[in-house]
Amino acid sequence: MKQVHFFNRHVDVALDLLNSHTAGKPFAPYLKSFFKEKKKYGGRDRKRISNLCYAWFRLGYSIPLDRREQIIGAYFILHSDRFVHPADVNSKFSEDWDQLDLKQRLHFMGVDVKDIFPLTGFVDFSDLEQFLLDQLEVRPTYFRKIHPGALNFQEDVDLIETDGTSIGSYSGQALNTLRTKGHIEIQDRSSQDVMRRLLPELQEPIWDCCAASGGKSLYILDETPREVFASDVRSSILRSLKERSKRHKSRLFIGQANVIKVDKVKFRRQDKTIMVDGDFFQTILVDAPCSGSGTWSRNPEFKPFLTQQDLDRYVQRQREIVKNAASFLKVGGKLIYLTCSVYQNENQAQLDFFESCGLQVETTGYHYGHLNQSDSMFYSVLVKK
């Protein structure tokens, strides 16, 4: 009974955390600062409270009960708890709960699988139900790119995979330590796989026009001898790009630009400033702002909150970005459009509009990252006519 008492206390903490967290903001830093303040929670408490919260983000919100009951139901659907059996917490759970599979547990809790993901009508995968269940079952993993030349480091990390160029662990913290030591770079395995596939499409000069802190730019700089022009609308994120790209400063130009509005962009390199206008680029990479729905098995805290209006706003912004970016492209040059979304509105359904901007679709497809514990992405190579 003591264990049930502790369990219920943890549910109360999870409920408070979920009620006070701002919807749409990353949850991990919020949780981290909560535990930093509340020293009384040990490792086991933290793990359970965290699992209770994330179970709610993964599917709890779709259980037709109040939020406290949603948290408990979602937790027992997704986790076996060594210390409490669901039937000890609530008699509605059957004694043979552990024998039920995922679909039976969802059914028992009154969940329609289609409700565990927002706007499922727009998801572009043919086996929708399998995709939705994979989302729940896949254990979230962190993948990072190993710096060339740092292949032989020895660290005591809970590794799940390393193939020589990328490294994975269930512990984001362990990987942060490796990053601080300069061995690895933040980059999901799907981004690496997609970039590797697209490398032959790149011709100089290259503009990464939604570069953020430069994940894709750094990949190109690491893997090719090319010069890269990187920009983003947010100047704050460009500071982080500058920090991360020190080893490439002779080949990287950085600028700040809202791609929707500009007709010229000023780029700086350590020794040089270039003002770019007109059809200057041979390759433009648009890693577009999007719903992020392809990353939700890793970041489920964004899943319960996406609305149709949000999706429409992303679609509109993507169109405006591609349309104006294309005016910087030479005839015969390539615009590579990427999203980490699984919604057709942001992907295939955009292609007709892109063609109306004078771009011709050459290749397009999905990278099904959820099958190997990484993000799902959409890519399309468009050629300027």
Ligand X SMILES: C[S@@+](CC[C@H](N)C(=O)[O-])C[C@H]1O[C@@H](n2cnc3c(N)ncnc32)[C@H](O)[C@@H]1O
Binding site for ligand X (CB under 6 A): 191, 209-213, 215-216, 232-234, 237, 258-260, 287, 289, 321
- Per the listing, tokens 């362990």 go with 174
Residues in Cβ contact with 357 at an 8 Å cutoff, skipping those fewer than 6 apart: 322, 323, 326
Cβ-based nearer residue to ligand X, 261 or 272: 261
Cβ-based nearer residue to ligand X, 62 or 374: 374
Written as six digits, the tokens of 74 are 């979602």
Cβ-based nearer residue to ligand X, 62 or 299: 299
Distance of closest approach, residue 256 Cβ to ligand X, in angstroms? 9
Residues in Cβ contact with 142 at an 8 Å cutoff, skipping those fewer than 6 apart: 168, 169, 170, 171, 172, 175, 298
In this chain, which residue has its C-beta nearest to ligand X? Answer: 215
Distance of closest approach, residue 285 Cβ to ligand X, in angstroms? 8
Q: Quick one: which of 26, 123, 115, 24 has its CA closest to 368?
A: 123
> What does the alpha-carbon distance between residue 146 and residue 171 come to, in Å, rounded to a whole number?
16
Distance of closest approach, residue 82 Cβ to ligand X, in angstroms? 38
Distance of closest approach, residue 325 Cβ to ligand X, in angstroms? 9
Cβ-based nearer residue to ligand X, 161 or 320: 320
Distance of closest approach, residue 56 Cβ to ligand X, in angstroms? 26
Cβ-based nearer residue to ligand X, 70 or 191: 191
> What does the alpha-carbon distance between residue 213 and residue 144 come to, in Å, rounded to a whole number?
15
Cβ-based nearer residue to ligand X, 4 or 237: 237
Cβ-based nearer residue to ligand X, 206 or 210: 210
Distance of closest approach, residue 292 Cβ to ligand X, in angstroms? 8
> H or E element: which one contains 111?
none
Burial-class residue 295 by CB neighbours within 10 Å (0-12, 13-18, 19+): buried
Distance of closest approach, residue 258 Cβ to ligand X, in angstroms? 4
Cβ-based nearer residue to ligand X, 31 or 311: 311
Cβ-based nearer residue to ligand X, 69 or 201: 201
The count of other CB atoms within 10 Å of the CB of residue 180 is: 9
Q: Quick one: which of 346, 349, 324 has its CA closest to 335?
A: 324
3-state secondary structure of 307: coil
Residues in Cβ contact with 74 at an 8 Å cutoff, skipping those fewer than 6 apart: 55, 56, 58, 59, 60, 63
Distance of closest approach, residue 301 Cβ to ligand X, in angstroms? 17
E strand map for 270-357: 272-277, 281-287, 329-339
Cβ-based nearer residue to ligand X, 258 or 363: 258
Report residue 56 CA to chain centroid gap.
19
3-state secondary structure of 11: helix
> What does the alpha-carbon distance between residue 165 and residue 286 come to, in Å, rounded to a whole number?
24
3-state secondary structure of 117: coil
Distance of closest approach, residue 21 Cβ to ligand X, in angstroms? 22
Distance of closest approach, residue 287 Cβ to ligand X, in angstroms? 4
Q: Quick one: which of 244, 255, 239, 190 has its CA closest to 222?
A: 244
